[in-house]
Structure 1
Amino acid sequence: MSFNEAINYLNVHSELIQTPIIVEGDKIQVGYSGDEIRKFIPIIQRRVKLIKY
């Protein structure tokens, strides 16, 4: 698929643009879930946030 074909496809299927796809190493997240998306935040930062609140 060429770049222009991909742009046209996304224009027709705009719901795909509203669905985040996050890939980091061996982790992938499709869609949005506040609980699941935390796996992309380094564990030390997650712990600091829990301690603050």
Structure 2
Amino acid sequence: MQNHPIGSAPDYTNAFMAMSGLILFMTFFVIAAAVGYLWVFLTAFGLNKMIALISRKI
């Protein structure tokens, strides 16, 4: 007996990207509320440099 699904898997890329953006926004908001806007800037700057470093290696 075969129990294979018919068709391809649904594409959840847009939903993933939207939720990732929302979670990143909420993270920055919590950091800003807890520590201040300086730490939000430093965190965003650090993430930007880390992403740039990773993209150069790829």
TM-score between both structures, scaled by the size of structure 2? 0.27
Higher strand share goes to which structure?
1
Higher helix share goes to which structure?
2
Higher relative contact order (CA 8 A, sep 6+): 1
TM-score between both structures, scaled by the size of structure 1? 0.28
